[in-house]
Structure 1
Amino acid sequence: MTGRVLVTGGSGFVGRSVLPLLVRRGFTVHAAGPDPVDLAGVVGHRIDLLDAAQRRAVVADIRPTHLLHLAWYAEPGAYWTSPKNLDWVGASLDLAQAFAEAGGRRLVAAGTCAEYEWGSERLSESRTPCRPATLYGAAKDGLRRVLAAYAREAGLSFAWGRLFYLYGPGEQPGRLVGDTIRRLLAGERIPTTEGLQRRDFLHVDDAAEALAALLAAALEGPVNVGSGRAVPVREILARIGALTGRADLIGFGERALPPGDPAVIEADVARLRGELGVAPGRDLDEGLAQMVERYRALPPGAP
Structure 2
Amino acid sequence: MKRVLVTGGAGFVGRHAVAALVARGFEVQAIGRTAPKGVHAFHAADLLDPVQRRAAVQAASASHLLHLAWVTTPGRYWQAPDNLDWTAASLDLVRTFREAGGTRAVVAGTCAEYDWTGINLLPREELESPSPRTRGEGRDDLVVGATSGSGGEGASWTEPHPAAPPHPRLPPRFRDDRVAEALSPRAGRGDAAAIREGHLSEVAPCRPATLYGAAKDGLRRILQAYAATAGLSLGWGRLFYLYGPGETPGRLVGDAARALLAGQRLATSEGRQRRDFLHVADVGAAFAALLDSGVEGPVNLGSGEAVPVRRILETIGALTGRPDLIDFGARPLGPTEPACIEADIRRLTDEVGFSARYGLEQGLEQTVAAWRAALSNAASIP
TM bin, normalised by shorter chain, reads over 0.9
Q: What residue identity is the alignment partner of 1:86? A: L
Indicate the percent of aligned positions where both proteins have the same amino acid.
62
Which of 86, 89, 93 is the aligned partner of 1:91?
89
User: Contact (CA 8 Å) 1:107, 1:215: kept in 2 or not?
Assistant: yes
Distance 1:165 1:106 in 2: 26
Shift of 1:80: 1.1
**Greater RCO between the two (CA within 8 Å, min separation 6)?**
2
SS of the aligned residue for 2:278 comes to strand
Distance 2:79 2:314 in 1: 30
- How high is the TM-score relative to the length of structure 2? 0.76
SS of the aligned residue for 1:78 comes to coil
User: Contact (CA 8 Å) 1:23, 1:42: kept in 2 or not?
Assistant: no
Which of 211, 221, 229 is the aligned partner of 1:153?
229
What pairs with 1:1-303 in structure 2 (closer than 5 Å)? 2-39=1-38, 41-118=39-116, 119=119, 120=195, 121=197, 122-126=199-203, 128-298=204-374, 299-300=377-378
Distance 2:24 2:356 in 1: 18
User: Contact (CA 8 Å) 1:167, 1:201: kept in 2 or not?
Assistant: yes
Gaps of 5+ in 1: none
Across the aligned residues of Structure 1 and Structure 2, the Cα RMSD in angstroms comes to 1.3
User: Contact (CA 8 Å) 1:19, 1:42: kept in 2 or not?
Assistant: no
Deviations 1:184-238 (A, max 9, x none): 1111111111111110000111111111111111110000000000001111011
User: Would you identify which runs of 4 or more consecutive aligned residues in structure 1 move more than 4 Å?
Assistant: none
Distance 2:365 2:16 in 1: 19
Shift of 1:37: 2.1
Shift of 1:144: 0.4
Distance 2:260 2:342 in 1: 27
User: Contact (CA 8 Å) 1:160, 1:220: kept in 2 or not?
Assistant: yes
Shift of 1:42: 2.6
Shift of 1:301: 6.7
User: Contact (CA 8 Å) 2:111, 2:238: kept in 1 or not?
Assistant: yes
SS of the aligned residue for 1:253 comes to coil
Distance 1:206 1:76 in 2: 22
Deviates more, 1:17-26 or 1:66-75: 17-26
Q: What residue identity is the alignment partner of 1:96? A: V
Q: What residue identity is the alignment partner of 1:4? A: R
Shift of 1:281: 3.0
Distance 1:247 1:208 in 2: 31
Distance 2:270 2:218 in 1: 34
Distance 2:35 2:202 in 1: 35
Q: Number of aligned pairs? A: 299
Distance 1:24 1:287 in 2: 21
Q: In the alignment, which residue of structure 1 is the partner of 2:129?
A: none
SS of the aligned residue for 2:298 comes to strand
| Cα gap change, 1:296 to 1:260, in 2 (>3 Å) | same
Deviates more, 1:255-264 or 1:161-170: 255-264
Distance 2:61 2:24 in 1: 19
SS of the aligned residue for 2:36 comes to coil
Q: What residue identity is the alignment partner of 2:113? A: E
Distance 1:283 1:260 in 2: 29
Deviations 1:80-103 (A, max 9, x none): 111111111000001011011101
User: Contact (CA 8 Å) 1:14, 1:208: kept in 2 or not?
Assistant: yes
Shift of 1:22: 1.1
Distance 1:175 1:11 in 2: 18
Distance 1:268 1:218 in 2: 19
Distance 2:32 2:249 in 1: 20
- How high is the TM-score relative to the length of structure 1? 0.96
Shift of 1:275: 1.0
Larger radius of gyration: 2
User: Contact (CA 8 Å) 1:38, 1:44: kept in 2 or not?
Assistant: no
Deviations 1:255-293 (A, max 9, x none): 110242211110001111111111223111111111111
Q: What residue identity is the alignment partner of 1:55? A: R
